[in-house]
Amino acid sequence: MIVLVARYVTRPGMADRVEAAVREMITLSRQEEGCLRYEVNRSVERENEFLLYEVYRDEAALEAHRQSPHFRRIVQETIVPLLEQRERQFYRPVTP
């Protein structure tokens, strides 16, 4: 399993547009075979900030997600141009 935690900070006035785009992304990503979890949260204190928590079966599933037409259209072409900042960190679960 691989976990991706991402933080988006939108340009001023763009948060509602990003939220609309991530709503569509949630629906499509959750339909991917290797996507085990796809959660997006909008900050209560900083309305231009989003936190994404994604879990994929393995690195191949993550790569399939990145190569999907909906990722390209929604994330790369729609969301990224509306951001001031985009941070991503990858994790592996710690199990007993």
pLDDT tens digit sequence for 10-60: 999 999 999 999 999 999 999 999 999 999 999 999 999 999 999 999 999
pLDDT at position 82, please?
98
Q: Where does the pLDDT of residue 87 fall: very low under 50, low under 70, confident under 90, or very high at 90 and above?
A: very high
For residue 65, which amino acid is it?
Answer: H
pTM (two decimals): 0.92
CA distances from 58 to 4, 26, 86, 95 (A): 11, 19, 22, 15
Could you tell me the domains of the chain? 2-91 (3.30.70.100)
